[in-house]
Structure 1
């Protein structure tokens, strides 16, 4: 095997391509690029490269490919699975796309928006709003996460129930391949049956097959009306039944249906400090429901009240707070969106991101909760998520009297394995929207068939035969299956 170029040689080559200002090497400057969001994974890199154009990304990749230098693509670095930072070998160049942050075009007739991959999700949503359109992806890290990363992890979020994942929101894509070639389908077509739809290879691939540099995204009409309620329900089973009733009565107007456990609400209210529960009494389970439509506000609120009344009559609903203003709705959503950060600040949560068929979600939550509490009775069961698409963030949190290090050291792997196994037994997935990265990579040998693994490796070999692009991520093991 040919020896890798020296760090000085790599740096000089990168500076020739992107300029000295586009290369970071000092430890203080690179710290945030080589450390993951939860500070669980930390690596090294000879240089963090900040390209400004697709041509620069292409040139960097071509040089690295020719010299066998591994590359880690990176967006906002909000991954929870360790998939966007280098390992500790110090051999991989990090390519961060934050300088590629321009909205290239908005077509209000075609209802599309073309953006560079480094545009933040918040920036994309704001640009759409300025054109009186909606880009519907909505996740808690929208101020930091970038469109390229959203596509690379097939991000979901709180509006999947109505609008789908990122795979459903992209029409075209520009991707730099491992050898530096550029694939482009930035056409904004909703119908194109000219062979394989190649863009979908790169959605959810976590930067292992190519570096997404631009995309054409779908836009939607802005809703004219919204109705939001924070509802106490009898149980997860009651929540599932209430969702069915909401869909029956409101149809596609049901935009979000978020489950929240009492420990999750307790934690976030303690973290926020300045926010009270929307409900006067403590309840074991709650859902945050949002309806949106092009109809008038009065009609939508009437539909929401009809859903609540039906739930009360059937014993599914115990209490409810209906947002009387936009400020109320923002408060309700703030509670939901801050649950993740509240856990990070507190430390000691075992983050299981699973999905199961909606018909099995209540039984899964009940079984998994009982099994975890049998291991550690004082565990705080922080459970929340996008109930409408079966995605549960099942995050057992350390007891208040145990340190994060102690709790995670004892229970992280046993509990993760337990929860993943129960989800798999329900025909579910061990990763609903966080991806695989490093954290779940080796688990795929247990939950993916040999045929699936071999097919994924065949795709990887075809596009990246040298295994230089985000190596050691997603695909299990150091070597591909034989």
Structure 2
């Protein structure tokens, strides 16, 4: 855009939203352009903060007429560059952070309607106030927003029981590329009146439309809960323990998280006043949680009986059973601290992947062996939501290797990891999305028919490539 055209758009945006809601390069926009992992730093034309769906629609219409692309942004906690502005093309960041309202909460129907900028923690607190629960739990709950969770189809600790975000969404309100508003904010749990349009936008990473509000399904709040930390000698013991707990605890098993000793070392070094939970180190750790909305004391007895059986079968080496909510929070603190604590190991090459649960031991064994041969001294730090097959297959810098030299190995490390993911019929993007980081990898590895359909959907819903350019798929890919 020419300077006069840019100035004209800025003036129109200020007239529409007010000066306080439009920030240019001379304003403090660091938190909007700083991507959490530091891989991308864009130069947006401006950052705007609309306060209503109608204002979002008006911004879209102005940008469409001016030929300016839009990068939707929630809490800016994404890890694949999905909310980062580009450098080569002038783009407008549209932050939904002012749209934080809980519009409606229906205890009888166990639903709520919230705006896209509402932090996940606030959604969960509002549900808890009505004796209900929104079963999406992330370490970034305080900053991640529900719109971002929907855009990336976020997972988290409780996916093993409740599934990813798309299973919690009943309906959406979305601003489309022509400036119109799709109102699909239904509270219905059964509606077969045509294609489920809501599902198109969940996981689309802001490339098809801007989610402005959502109708969410809630569940009864737990009245019994038990958290346990288990030390294991072998990775295969984790899968055997998962099978045992599922058989014994059924649908009450809400979380089953894996963590290696290396990650525990990082966490213990990073968190002040935190000590090793056991008297001796273990090769692997499992965090498990069981919950029930049914009152009583039977769940604890069932969990203890299952853990006793696991001990008799030689699956466990050490067990801690939380004695209450405070101790449970302290145990989960160890798991939630891993992403930040990994910085203790220097540069980390991160992979958010999934494979079938049964394939996890073979995948990890094959990948770590191949990586050790390619990069001697590499330190795999594999943790995550093993109950649903999602691993954060992160690789810490070898102690004898410099940071730049290790970064230079990333293409080869990626090839090794993703080749094995493909061999085991897994996914290169389990819960973080594709964004900019994995777009080219998706183009190389995805089924050609899938790529064609993705491109046609993009072309159909966003023919002018207005929304989030450079993310997920190549623009107009339909060959």
TM-score between both structures, scaled by the size of structure 1: 0.96
Which residue of structure 1 aligns with residue 339 of structure 2?
Answer: 340
Deviation above 6 Å: which 4+ runs of structure 1? Answer: 2-5
Q: Which residue of 1 aligns with 2:392?
A: 393
Partner of 2:471: 473
Counterparts in 2 of 1:103 and 1:346: CA distance versus 1, 3 Å: farther
Change (3 A) 1:237 1:28: farther
The aligned residue for residue 258 of structure 1 is 257
2:57–2:180 CA contact under 8 A, matched in 1 = yes
3-state SS of paired residue (2:29): helix
For 2:460, which of 459, 462, 476 is the aligned residue? Answer: 462
**TM superposition shift of 1:377:** 3.4
Q: 1:421 aligns with which of 419, 422, 435?
A: 419
Post-superposition offset of 1:60: 0.3
Structure-1 separation of matches of 2:107 and 2:437: 41
For residue 439 of structure 1, what is the aligned residue in structure 2? 437
Shift of 1:5: 6.3
* 1:231-277 Cα distance to aligned partner (Å, 9 max, x none): 01232211111101101000000000000011111111111132112
| Worse-superposed segment, 6-15 or 95-104 | 6-15
Q: Which residue of 1 aligns with 2:8?
A: 9
Q: 1:198-209 to 2 correspondence within 5 Å?
A: 198-209=197-208
Instruction: Quote how far apart the aligned CAs of 1:40 are.
Output: 1.1
Preserved contact between residue 4 and residue 68 of structure 1 (Cα < 8 Å): no
- Per the TM alignment, residue 27 of structure 1 is displaced from its structure 2 partner at its CA by 4.5
Q: CA deviation at 1:205?
A: 0.3
2:137 is the alignment partner of 1:152: no
- Return the alpha-carbon distance in structure 2 between the equivalents of residues 253 and 429 of structure 1: 27
> Which residue number corresponds to residue 357 of structure 1?
356
Residue correspondence of structure 1 range 240-279 to structure 2 within 5 A = 240-279=239-278
For the 8 Å contact 1:4–1:67, the answer to whether it is kept is no
Change (3 A) 1:5 1:205: farther
In the alignment, what sits opposite 1:92? 91
Q: Secondary structure at the match of 1:311?
A: helix
Matches within 5 A, 1:175-214: 175-214=174-213
Q: Tell me if structure 2 keeps the 8 A contact 1:172–1:217.
A: yes
SS in 1 for 2:349: coil
Matching residue of 1:228: 227
Provide, for residues 113-138 of structure 1, a one-character-per-residue CA deviation record: whole Å limited to 9, x for no partner: 10000000011111111111101100
Q: Structure 1 residues 398, 72: closer, same or farther in 2, change over 3 A?
A: same
Secondary structure of 2:20 counterpart: helix
Contact persistence 1:46–1:90 (CA under 8 A)? no
Q: Structure 1 residues 351, 463: closer, same or farther in 2, change over 3 A?
A: same
The alpha-carbon distance between structure 1 residues 144 and 226, as it changes in their structure 2 partners (threshold 3 A), is same
Any conservation in 2 of the 1:170–1:215 contact (CA below 8 Å)?
yes
Do the aligned partners of residues 4 and 441 (structure 1) sit closer, same or farther apart at CA in structure 2, a change above 3 Å counting? farther
| 1:5–1:67 Cα contact (<8 Å) kept | no
Q: Counterpart of 2:280 in 1: which secondary structure?
A: coil
The Cα of 1:343 is off from its aligned counterpart by: 2.3
Q: Which residue of 1 aligns with 2:300?
A: 301
1:326, 1:91 → 2: CA distance? 49
Give the direction of change, closer, same or farther, for the CA distance of 1:4–1:151 in structure 2 (3 Å limit).
Answer: farther
Q: Contact 1:227–1:297 at 8 Å: present in 2 too?
A: no
1:41-120 alignment, distance < 5 Å = 41-89=40-88, 91-120=90-119
The root-mean-square deviation of aligned C-alpha atoms, in Å, is 1.5
Report how far residue 346 of structure 1 moved.
5.2
Query: For 2:177 and 2:2, how far apart are their aligned partners in 1?
Result: 19
The structure-2 alpha-carbon separation of the partners of 1:240 and 1:297, relative to structure 1 and needing over 3 Å to count, comes to farther
SS in structure 2 at match of 1:474: coil
Q: Determine the C-alpha separation between the residues in 2 that align with 1:212 and 1:258.
A: 30
Report the alpha carbon displacement of residue 296 of structure 1 after superposing the two structures with TM: 4.5
Maintained 8 Å contact 1:81/1:439? yes
Q: Write the distance in 1 (CA, Å) between the matches of 2:432 and 2:325.
A: 30
- Alpha-carbon contact 2:345-2:397 (below 8 Å) kept: no
State the TM-score, normalized to the length of structure 2: 0.97
> Aligned pair in 2 of structure 1 residues 245, 205: CA closer, same or farther (>3 Å)?
same
Structure 2 distance, partners of 1:377, 1:231, is 30
Other-structure match for 1:289: 288
Output the CA distance in 2 between the equivalents of 1:47 and 1:346: 36
Cα–Cα, structure 1 residues 192 and 211, in superposed 2: closer, same or farther, change >3 Å? same
Q: Indicate the SS of the match to 1:315.
A: coil
**Aligned 8 A contact 1:259 1:387 in 2:** yes
Kept in 2: contact 1:226–1:297 (CA 8 A):
no
1:322 aligns with 2:321: yes
For the residues of structure 2 that align with 1:403 and 1:179, how far apart are their CA atoms?
A: 50
Deviates more, 1:320-329 or 1:170-179: 320-329
User: What is the deviation of 1:431?
Assistant: 0.5
CA distance in 2, matches of 1:221, 1:351: 35
Deviation at 1:374, TM superposition (A): 2.0
The alignment of Structure 1 onto Structure 2 pairs a total of residues equal to 479
- Unmatched runs of 5 consecutive residues or more in structure 2: none
